[in-house]
Structure 1
Amino acid sequence: MPDTLTEAFEAQRDRLRAVAHRVLGSHADAEDVVQEAWLRLSRQDAETIHNLDGWLTTVVGRISLDVLRSRRSRPEAPYDEIVVAVDESPAPEDDVALADSIGLALLVVLESLGPGERLAFVLHDLFAVPFEEIGRILGKTPGASKMLASRARRKVRTPSQPPAAGREQREVVGAFLRAARDGDFEGLLRVLDPEVRLTVDTPDGVVVVLGATNVAAGARFGAASGGRAVLVGGLPGVVAWREDGSPLSVVAFTVVDGRIAGIAAVADPARLASMDLPEPPGTVGTAG
């Protein structure tokens, strides 16, 4: 029986890891959640489990929910896995692969959701878990769980598969940054999608700005001195630093059909400190 249970769990491991990773945005946390699920299963009387898939999904969901609720003391948690690389080549084949990274744009938005909203959205929209099952995890009715997922869906509204940084995407972002630097309001409007969404993770929470006019009016961050072109999870972006060399912001752009449809920025020092960022321009390489 133990061997059969082990084999059944191993057959589910990849799916469970994917669920936990999408909910939490962290491979390390996802591994911990799956391991804890296995420990709980090993202590469970197998005869009492009538639907192993559902039982494991519920356990992983509940453990993930506990992690989300405890993250107030770990503000940097998911951001350490965002890949930020100096953008030195315009060749698409040299781009940093998106791989299975959640990406900064979606992660920033997910961070703006409450734990219940986040879990309901991820489980239902990404893994087709029924609301009855989600309700059991959250301790809510199926109807209440459906409302949480619907509310989260309205907040997310982000391309599920944004194109990686190619020459056109870089040129559009470059035009945006030049216009921001020059205070060229009309130039900003030309490269922004009318429905563009700017999401900024700040020390006081996530701020969302909607619409080209509003985003263009507040595009001050694009003019920050010492900015450096980077790839953020495979998308064109920019890192800016303060005069003392500490990071000011990391910004990623989603370009669709020749216009910027989404801008995700991190300006929270605690989260920035957890990210592996390149050195400011002109910095002499130092060990560490």
Structure 2
Amino acid sequence: MSETVAEAFEAQRDRLRAVAHRVLGSHSDAEDVVQEAWLRLSRQDAATIDNLDGWLTTVVGRISLDVLRARRARPEAPYDEVVVTVAEGPEEDVALADSVGLALLVVLESLGPGERLAFVLHDLFAVPFEEIARILGKSTAAAKMLASRARRKVRTPPASLSSGRSQREVVQAFLTAARDGDFEELLRVLDPEVRLTVDTPDGVVVVLGATNVAAGARFGAASAGRKVLVGGLPGVVAWRPDGSPLSVVAFTVVDGRIARIAAVADPVKLASMALPEPPGGSR
């Protein structure tokens, strides 16, 4: 591998990392993808590559697609990357403002691998559909259709995300209604198409729709929790009486209603997260 090609790769590294991160939503996975792309380039005869930028984008796209497909077979979130902080002080508003990008990642998780790749590469990085089609192994028309379908699913623009204060008020209303068993109030604060995901020791459980989510909301209201920010989103962490973590829940609020709820109740996943100490005691 010549120094010229190595330098050209380094010049592209940040862009490739950004592409992989947007597709996968994980910094560590993105780093792994970029490293794999470098290994493949090092085994390739550089003289056979007409357009290095395009070649690298294709390779990163294909590796990322493989990672996405593997995740669909065995859903798993990079919990060790999620920052959980106590929701206090002016820093909370800054973190909640940053949740615009995090909310987009949450929405992207609902897309199929092909949809997600086509949407991210074309709409966020302006990769031509012809190139996306080659990555997907599909026709250009099929690639356009996948991106269009994804665009319809990502139908809520960032501007519609509620302000930090509004998010806190909506989440508090949900928690109060869950505690009191107020079914009508739960339906009021939940988006009709709300999506709840719960990571349990037996796998990921998905609950769809306000009625179904509201019906089970009191299950998580039995234990007192502490308000936190989960990756910048408003959330709650709860502990067992012995101080071990019971659950972490994050809420995405859109247009004054809760659109997504992500909960982690798997002790193994919880152990990988850097959680604050329980109030009045140590873990």
Look up the match of 1:8.
8
How many residues in Structure 1 have an aligned counterpart in Structure 2?
A: 280
Q: What's the secondary structure of 1:229's corresponding residue?
A: strand
Look up the match of 1:32.
32
Look up the match of 2:63.
63
Is 1:209 the counterpart of 2:205? The answer is no
Q: What's the secondary structure of 1:275's corresponding residue?
A: coil
Q: Call closer, same or farther: CA 1:97–1:81 in 2, change over 3 Å.
A: farther
- Counterpart-to-counterpart distance in 2, 1:13 and 1:40: 14
Q: What's the secondary structure of 1:63's corresponding residue?
A: helix
* Contact map agreement 1:226 1:280 (CA 8 A) in 2: no
* Contact map agreement 2:162 2:254 (CA 8 A) in 1: no
Alignment partner for residue 260 of structure 2, among 241, 259, 263? 263
- Counterpart-to-counterpart distance in 1, 2:51 and 2:148: 27
- Counterpart-to-counterpart distance in 1, 2:99 and 2:11: 20
Which residue type is aligned with residue 37 of structure 2? A
- Counterpart-to-counterpart distance in 2, 1:181 and 1:165: 24
Q: Call closer, same or farther: CA 1:117–1:256 in 2, change over 3 Å.
A: closer
Q: Call closer, same or farther: CA 1:65–1:149 in 2, change over 3 Å.
A: same
Q: Call closer, same or farther: CA 1:196–1:92 in 2, change over 3 Å.
A: farther
Q: What's the secondary structure of 2:78's corresponding residue?
A: helix
Look up the match of 1:120.
118
Alignment partner for residue 166 of structure 2, among 165, 168, 181? 168
- Bigger mean CA deviation after superposition, 166-175 or 266-275: 266-275
Q: What's the secondary structure of 1:8's corresponding residue?
A: helix
Q: Please, what TM-score do these two structures have when normalized by structure 2? A: 0.80
Is 1:79 the counterpart of 2:76? The answer is no
Look up the match of 2:18.
18
Look up the match of 2:278.
280
Structure 2 unaligned regions, length at least 5: none
Which residue type is aligned with residue 195 of structure 2? L
Counterparts of residues 216-235 of structure 1 (less than 5 Å): 216-221=214-219, 223-235=221-233
Q: What's the secondary structure of 1:207's corresponding residue?
A: strand
- Bigger mean CA deviation after superposition, 11-20 or 153-162: 153-162
- Counterpart-to-counterpart distance in 1, 2:87 and 2:135: 43
Which residue type is aligned with residue 209 of structure 2? L
Deviation at 1:144, TM superposition (A): 3.1
> CA RMSD for the aligned pairs?
3.4
- Bigger mean CA deviation after superposition, 175-184 or 73-82: 73-82
- Counterpart-to-counterpart distance in 2, 1:159 and 1:199: 20
Q: Call closer, same or farther: CA 1:77–1:256 in 2, change over 3 Å.
A: closer
Q: Call closer, same or farther: CA 1:54–1:208 in 2, change over 3 Å.
A: farther
Q: Call closer, same or farther: CA 1:116–1:206 in 2, change over 3 Å.
A: farther
* Contact map agreement 2:171 2:258 (CA 8 A) in 1: no
- Bigger mean CA deviation after superposition, 19-28 or 141-150: 141-150
- Counterpart-to-counterpart distance in 2, 1:248 and 1:87: 18
Measured against aligned partners, the alpha-carbon deviations of 1:204-251 in whole angstroms (never above 9, x if no partner) come to 44525235x554344225523121110112221112345565544322
Structure 1 unaligned regions, length at least 5: none
Q: Please, what TM-score do these two structures have when normalized by structure 1? A: 0.79
Identity %: 74
* Contact map agreement 1:200 1:206 (CA 8 A) in 2: yes
Q: What's the secondary structure of 2:238's corresponding residue?
A: strand
Deviation at 1:106, TM superposition (A): 4.6
* Contact map agreement 2:97 2:164 (CA 8 A) in 1: no
- Counterpart-to-counterpart distance in 2, 1:154 and 1:217: 28
Is 1:132 the counterpart of 2:130? The answer is yes
Q: Call closer, same or farther: CA 1:199–1:40 in 2, change over 3 Å.
A: same
Which residue type is aligned with residue 260 of structure 1? R
Counterparts of residues 242-261 of structure 1 (less than 5 Å): 242=240, 245-257=243-255, 259-261=256-258
* Contact map agreement 2:80 2:274 (CA 8 A) in 1: yes
Look up the match of 1:145.
143
* Contact map agreement 1:251 1:263 (CA 8 A) in 2: no
Q: Call closer, same or farther: CA 1:37–1:191 in 2, change over 3 Å.
A: same
